[in-house]
Structures are given as structure tokens and as C-alpha cells.
Structure 1
Amino acid sequence: MADDEIRTARRNLGRRLAQLRKAAGHTQHSFARLVQYGRSSVASTETGHQHPDRAFWTRCDTVLQTGGVLTVEYDRINDRHRRQRRLSALQAIEGNESKAGNSADGSILWEDKDSIDARRLALKTSNDDDARLAYLENEVRQAIADNERLTPAMLMARMRPLRGYVDQLMSGRQHPPLRARLYVAAAQLSGLLGALALDLGAFGLAHAYAAEAFDLAEAAQQPDAQGWARATQSLIAFYSGDYYDALAYAQDGLRLAGPSPHRVRLSVNGEARAYARLGDRYGVDKAVDRALTILSDYPSSSQVTASLTLGPYCHARAAANTATAYLALGNGVDVTGHLNTAINAFDAAGLPGPQALSRLDLATAHLHRDNPEPEQACSLVLEALDLTADQRYESVHQRARQFLAMARPFAQQPQLRHVAELLSARTQTRAPTPPGLPSPL
């Protein structure tokens, strides 16, 4: 294929996309949201003015249920384009050889200097350097640290311009080590956005971001990043009620992560809580024991790690997740110590979400006692709802609803009715679903 033929083939592929999109009843705007790209990107692709990568065409095939025809055609065009470029490069080398030094028998002794200079220039051609990547990495790490300290909507808004910056870098050229770093930073950004979307109750968007995070980590071929992304997918699946998926993601993360510190989070936040919801006490015991054993290899610290930490979970978060798992099995007797450890740490750190969740678990533990204490339990729930009054946390609302289900035998308690009314009012005023953000792929 000559250059003109490649351009024609790409325009034809764009027109084919437009035909399939229209036949499926999608506007460019609605279709763009489904494939997580901007409407202008879809429009430019359909006219042949933009040439997105393979991931875009794969998503189009999935949304339009084409059986992969668009991706197959993209691969065909891309393969021919690569072969043409290699042929052009060989022809250029052959042309330069005619100017190179020849021996008496006509064999080539050295290359032309211009050929060497051209290769050096190509090697140095990149639109990124260490400073730009370091900026991106620092911004993402800071945002992960700020998660639970800022409201989900506020942090989501702050990350939107950074997503655009990632798009710019991803469309450029980088050498392999820089490219891998860029993919990891992009994976962490998508994982964070997935967790924020979950907090805001946008489950579909949360799943899409988390899947994107894993795809990017996989493309970077970084096991540590893959384990982190799987832990985030497990978290989102858990709060979506997909407990088998939550377990599968956690177990795959443990397989991929190897000796990574993410094993603590994958075990206690992923495996243990999913096993508990599936009623598997043996699985919970095994996962908790593994998490606490791994955690014992790390220095003990009073500092609370981020919920999406890029390192090992802290003792407070491990304790809180252990309590959540055993409470789901109906065991509220042995969790008080874990919860007191967690509450003290979260209170000292001033993290409203974890403070509320641990109080909700402690409230549930009060109902599990031989002599239940519904009044004290309700007081803890009201504290939890007050702590998160100015923020939306889907996890807090779910945990509060689970408490109310557990407290049905005490339905006549005035405080319990107050909790139910407050939660109902809180969840009816739902935060608006955030608009789809452009994809870094």
C-alpha cells in the first residue's frame, strides 16, 4: 500500500464505523461516551482525519457487537503500513550505501556519515523527558494520597485536566523505559478515577476505568502495577455486589504481583471480604492469616496509608478489613479489638470515610452481642453519617443499609427510625453521575 492507499483505507474504515454506529442507533455523542473517547475524536476518526490505536477499534467492536470486523481491518491496514515503512527504510539504506566507502572488490567498508547521523537523530526524537514524566507521577501519587481527604467530586474535577495531559503524552513517542513509566502512571490515574466514580455511585464508569487501569498496567508489563490494578478492580466489584468477580480479581492480582507489597491489600481487602460475602469461613481465615503474616514483615507504623496505597496496607486498614470480613460472617465477638485499633488510627488521621466505615462496623458488632445494644449502635451510625455529611461515599451508604437490615428486630427503637429516615434523605439526594472523561489509550 502506498501512502495514498493507506489514507484511503483509513477513510474507508472510518466510514464503515459511521455506518455501523448509525445502524445501531447511536449518535456520535452517545457512542463516544460508550467507548470512553471524546465526541470530536469519534467524528475525526469517521472522516479519516484521526487514527486511534487498536484499543479504540476493539471497544467499537465490543459496543457495536461486530464480531471484531473493525479491529481485523485496522490490523490489516496497520500491518501493511509497518511493512511499507520497513521497505522505505531499506531503500534509504541501499541508497546511502552507494555513497559509502567501497573496497577494491566492491564490498562496503563503512556507512555514509549521514546515515549514522539520521539514526542518532531518530534515537533522540521523543516528545517526553524525565521531568515531564516525573511531574505526572508526582501528581498521581499526590492525588492518591489526597483520596479520602478531599471530596470525591473535588478530586475528580482536579484530575480531569491531568487526564488531558496524559492523552497528549500517550499520543507522542517515547523510548521503551519512558513509555513503561507513562503507562504505569496512566494506569494509576485510571484506577484512582475508577475508585472516585465508585464513591459517587457511578458503577459502570468505575468498572470501565478499573478495566482500563489493568489494560495499561498489562501493556507496561509491570507486575506490581498489575497487582495494584487488580486490587482496585476487586474493590469496585465488591461494592457492586459481584463477589465472585471481586474474589477472582484479587486472586489474579496475587498471582501477578508475586512478592509485591500489594499482597496485603489483595488478601484482606480483596479475598477476605469477598470470601465472607460468599459464606466461606475457611477462605476468610486463610486470607486474613496471609495478610497479617505478610504485614508482619514490614515495620510497624502508626501512619495510615492511602486506601489505594502504592505500597503495603497499614495495620489499621488491615484491622478494619479483617473486622468487616468477620462481621459479614456473623461473627461480631472477636472484632472489637480490630475496630478500636482502626478507629483510633483513622480519627488521628482525620479521614472521614474510614472513620465512618469503622464506626458502622462497630455498630453492627454491638448488635451481634449476647446482650445487643441498639441504642449505642445507633449513636455510632449517626456519628458515621455526620462525619460524611458533606461528602458522598457509596461504601458508607451501603454499610449503613446493611446495619439497618441487621437491626430489623429493633425496628421500634426511635433512634433506629431516625437513622433510617436520615439515610433515606441522604441517598435520595444523589450526586450527579460524572461525565465520561477522555481515555488515555
Structure 2
Amino acid sequence: MAREPHQIAELRRELGERLSAFRKAAGLTQGEFGRLTHRDRSSVSHIENGRAQADERFWRLADDRFGARGSLFAAFEELETARRDHAEHAKSRERRECRAKVESLGPLRTQPWAPPESRDLDRVDDELAALELARRVEASDVGDSTLTALEHTFDELAMSYCNTPPAVLLERLRTHLAYVERLLDARATLAQHRRLLVVGGWLSLLAATVHIDLEHTAAATARLRTAVALAEQVGHDEIRAWSYETEAWRMLTDGDYRRALELSRRARHAAPPGSSIAIQATAQEGRALARLGQRRETYRAIERVHELVSPRKRPDQPEHHYRYDPNKSVSYTATTLAWAGDPAAEEYAREVIARLSPSEDVGRWPRRVAAANLDLALALVAADRPDEACDATRRALLSGKVVPSNRWRAAEVIHAVEAHGLPEVTEVRELYEETRRPLTDPL
């Protein structure tokens, strides 16, 4: 059996430590907990020490038994994500090695080489099959039509980000990243190899963003490192700047505001002048300043964003995650003012909601509408209108479009409203807790 990578072993050890802490807090011995999960004391000990694995049912039961509110199961899912990614990379590497061996056998290749059938290949979707067909038609390992198809696929995935469930989008990204990895060792011109590295960098960056949405910390870190490494290989400042900005957003959601400010400024300095990331990095800097309570600098950042946006026309594909939509500046202003505790955020948040609801745009921008309701709620808290803040938070949570990494924003409003002792906040708190629970086992 191949040795487990250090990153996965460390995640397994940390998960075991969490389990041990919850068990001890519940006052149970390893033997007592083992009986609840149909395991003996020794098995529980091995799981807690990171020396043994446990299945999904075990972690759902443990999370429920200890009242962990999804934190134990989320840690298990992060471990599983890392394991799947490692397995996919290993399979891809094995296929490349097998292909190289077959091609080294000589002139029997009268037909295009095809990898052997396997369960893994049987799951490859129609998108990947189309890319592979384009590659073979080129009669070369990496052709221009294959690269163009990959680039178009990335654009489609980036446009799907705003209205596709993160877990669904992540599976598609994994498929295409595995395909890119398979092509990296193929024969190609320097120009083709560079294009492949660039699209691999973009796909890695988007995958990192989705991992952050799902709170897959280790996987997000690995994807961001890959994106930066690929960007540096080809001198792609835009991908590098987006990587810093994405990490800055994660630091904001984690509460490390000074680190978020540092990364935002690094992204701004790396960004090509006039690019979408130049605007987004400036906006992220303003958010970090707002969280740090630096109001004067926050307002200056807001002004800079509006100056950068004013000459820009709306892009043909405004839903593309990496093409700045000027209309987004209103949402940004609402969020930043709300985080600065400025009641003026209410006007901007209501403008966003009015623009997108009940028009057809609400289907294109569901997360933006949910975020606007959270911005509105925070502004209403600042205006001492907690009952209306409760209503806005309820609307955001009921939409089902508040991703895991953004739930803290709802919790922030709920905590502030609870201080007023309103009875209706109990219902909103229950709704919030419901969104944090892991999905029930379909079996």
C-alpha cells in the first residue's frame, strides 16, 4: 500500500483529535462511544490517533451524537476531498506512464492509442469526451482546437460560478483539471504548452475559490499554490494577482483582517493596469480596511473603485467570475459600508435588491441577492432597526444561496439582534442552525 501523503495524514490526525475532544467533552470513554458506533475501544483509539479510517456514516453519527453542528462532518469531508484529489492525480500519472510504455513499443500504432476501459474512465462526462475527440482529430497530442475547447470550457465554468451549487461545479472542475494534467506530459509546441499551463492556472484558481466556498481549507490552499506556481512559470500576472485576492477573501472570512489587507495590496500591485483584478483587489482592500475600523481609508478605497469602474462598459458576459461587471460596484459599496457600520449601506443594498428582484436577473445572480439581503440586515442593525434586520436575514437564509463560507455574515447579524431580546430572532437562529447541518444520508 502506497504511503499516505503528509498533508492527508495531518488532516486525518487533526480529525481524530477533534473527535477525541468532543468525546471527552461528552464524558464518554472510548469503549462507551465504540458501543454507540458498533466499534470496539481499540478501533475508536486508532481513529482518534489518525491511524485508522472511518466511513461517512460514522462521522455523521459522531457529529450528531456530540452536537458538533456539522463541524466534525465538515472536517471529514475536507479529508475526503484531499484523498480524492490525491487519488485522481495518482491515476492520471499512472495512465501517462502506461501510455508512454505503449508508445515506446514501436510501430504497431496503426490506430490512435486509447486508454484501457476502467470505472474511472467510464465516469468521464460528455464534455471531456468532446475534448478528447478534438485532440485526436488534430493527429497530435495537444492541438490548437483542444486548447481552444479547454479555454471555452473554463469560461463556461467561470460563468456558471454565480448560480451553480459549489459541490456540483467542483466535480466538473476536477474532471477538467485531471484532463489538463494528463496533457501536460504530452508532445506540444512551446506556445501550446504555455496555453495549457495558463488554462490549468485558471482552472486551479476557480477550483480554489469553490473549495473556499465549501470551507475545504487544505484543498483550497493546495489549489491556490498550484495556480500561483503555474502563473509564475508563464509570467501570467493576472492569475497571480487573482490568487492573492482569493486568498485575501479567505482571510477576511477567517477574521484575519490584517493579513487580508496585506494580500489585497499584493494583488493590486501585481495586477495589470486597467484589468478586472485591479478593480477587484482595490475593492478587497476596502473591505479589509472596513473590518479594521479604518473608516477614512475605507471611503478612499470606495472612491478608487468607482473611479476605476466609471469608464468601463459592461462586459458581454457579466456573470463571468473574472470579468468585472460595473454593476457589481453597487453590491461592493453596500457590503463595504455595512462592514464599516455606516447606515448608508441600506440605500445601496436596497438598490441591488430592487435591480435584481423580481426580474429574471435574480436567477443569474442568486448569491448577489442573498449577499445584498445580508448587507441590508447589517445596515439595519447599525440603524437600530433589529426587527427589519431579522426579516432581511431570514430572506437571505431561505434563498438557500448563502454558501458555507458566507454563513458567518448571517451569524454576525443574528448575534447583534439577539442583544435586543427580540422573540423573532429565535426563528432566524433556528433557520441558521438548520443551514449548518450536513445533508442527511440518502441511503
TM-score tier by shorter-chain length is 0.5 to 0.7
Residue of structure 1 equivalent to 2:152 = 138
Residue of structure 1 equivalent to 2:105 = none
Cα drift, residue 392 of structure 1: 5.9
Q: 1:319 aligns with which of 324, 330, 337?
A: 330
Q: 1:254 aligns with which of 268, 287, 293?
A: 268
Structure 1 contact 366–377 (Cα < 8 Å) conserved: yes
Write the distance in 2 (CA, Å) between the matches of 1:152 and 1:43: 24
Structure 1 contact 194–210 (Cα < 8 Å) conserved: yes
Cα drift, residue 199 of structure 1: 1.8
Cα drift, residue 423 of structure 1: 0.4
Write the distance in 1 (CA, Å) between the matches of 2:170 and 2:386: 37
Residue of structure 1 equivalent to 2:399 = 387
Structure 1 contact 323–338 (Cα < 8 Å) conserved: yes
Write the distance in 1 (CA, Å) between the matches of 2:392 and 2:414: 13
1:399 and 2:409 correspond: yes
Q: 2:426 aligns with which of 417, 423, 432?
A: 417
Cα drift, residue 43 of structure 1: 12
Cα drift, residue 242 of structure 1: 2.7
Write the distance in 1 (CA, Å) between the matches of 2:162 and 2:197: 25
Write the distance in 2 (CA, Å) between the matches of 1:165 and 1:410: 54
Residue of structure 2 equivalent to 1:226 = 240
1:288 counterpart letter in structure 2: I
Write the distance in 2 (CA, Å) between the matches of 1:18 and 1:159: 24
Cα drift, residue 158 of structure 1: 2.2
Deviations for 1:60-97, whole angstroms, at most 9, x for unmatched residues? xxxxxxxxxxxxxxxxxxxxxxxxxxxxxxxxxxxxxx
Residue of structure 1 equivalent to 2:340 = 329
Write the distance in 2 (CA, Å) between the matches of 1:185 and 1:43: 18
Q: Identify if the C-alpha distance between structure 1 residues 20 and 383 changes in structure 2 by more than 3 Å, giving closer, same or farther.
A: closer
Residue of structure 1 equivalent to 2:190 = 176
Residue of structure 1 equivalent to 2:87 = 38
SS of 1:305 mapped into structure 2: coil
Write the distance in 2 (CA, Å) between the matches of 1:225 and 1:289: 25
Write the distance in 1 (CA, Å) between the matches of 2:399 and 2:433: 17
Residue of structure 2 equivalent to 1:163 = 177
Cα drift, residue 33 of structure 1: 4.0
Cα drift, residue 344 of structure 1: 3.1
Structure 2 contact 291–340 (Cα < 8 Å) conserved: yes
TM-score by length of 2: 0.66
Q: 2:349 aligns with which of 331, 339, 342?
A: 339
Larger mean Cα displacement after TM superposition, 130-139 or 153-162: 153-162
Write the distance in 2 (CA, Å) between the matches of 1:175 and 1:296: 41
Residue of structure 1 equivalent to 2:282 = 267
2:318 counterpart letter in structure 1: T
Rg bigger for which structure?
1
Write the distance in 1 (CA, Å) between the matches of 2:375 and 2:198: 34
1:201 and 2:215 correspond: yes
Deviations for 1:1-51, whole angstroms, at most 9, x for unmatched residues? xxxxxxxxxxxxxx9x99999x99999x98994895338739989xxx79x
Q: 2:321 aligns with which of 301, 308, 333?
A: 308
Q: 1:360 aligns with which of 374, 377, 387?
A: 374
Write the distance in 2 (CA, Å) between the matches of 1:222 and 1:171: 21
Q: Name the Cα RMSD after superposition.
A: 3.6
Structure 1 contact 243–278 (Cα < 8 Å) conserved: yes
Write the distance in 2 (CA, Å) between the matches of 1:365 and 1:44: 52
SS of 1:362 mapped into structure 2: helix
Write the distance in 2 (CA, Å) between the matches of 1:150 and 1:44: 30
Residue of structure 2 equivalent to 1:282 = 296
Structure 2 contact 290–337 (Cα < 8 Å) conserved: yes
Structure 2 contact 159–317 (Cα < 8 Å) conserved: no
1:427 counterpart letter in structure 2: R
Write the distance in 1 (CA, Å) between the matches of 2:170 and 2:84: 19
Deviations for 1:321-354, whole angstroms, at most 9, x for unmatched residues? 222222222112x223322332234434222211
TM-score by length of 1: 0.66
2:87 counterpart letter in structure 1: G
Structure 1 contact 316–341 (Cα < 8 Å) conserved: no
Structure 2 contact 367–402 (Cα < 8 Å) conserved: no
Write the distance in 2 (CA, Å) between the matches of 1:19 and 1:233: 24
1:400 counterpart letter in structure 2: A
Larger mean Cα displacement after TM superposition, 397-406 or 318-327: 318-327
Write the distance in 1 (CA, Å) between the matches of 2:307 and 2:92: 53
1:296 and 2:310 correspond: yes
Write the distance in 2 (CA, Å) between the matches of 1:213 and 1:201: 18
1:428 and 2:437 correspond: yes
SS of 1:249 mapped into structure 2: helix
Write the distance in 1 (CA, Å) between the matches of 2:243 and 2:406: 22
Structure 2 contact 159–319 (Cα < 8 Å) conserved: yes
1:164 counterpart letter in structure 2: A
Q: Identify if the C-alpha distance between structure 1 residues 200 and 132 changes in structure 2 by more than 3 Å, giving closer, same or farther.
A: same
Write the distance in 2 (CA, Å) between the matches of 1:189 and 1:343: 31
Cα drift, residue 251 of structure 1: 1.2
Report the number of matched residues: 331
Structure 2 contact 211–220 (Cα < 8 Å) conserved: yes
Structure 2 contact 215–404 (Cα < 8 Å) conserved: yes
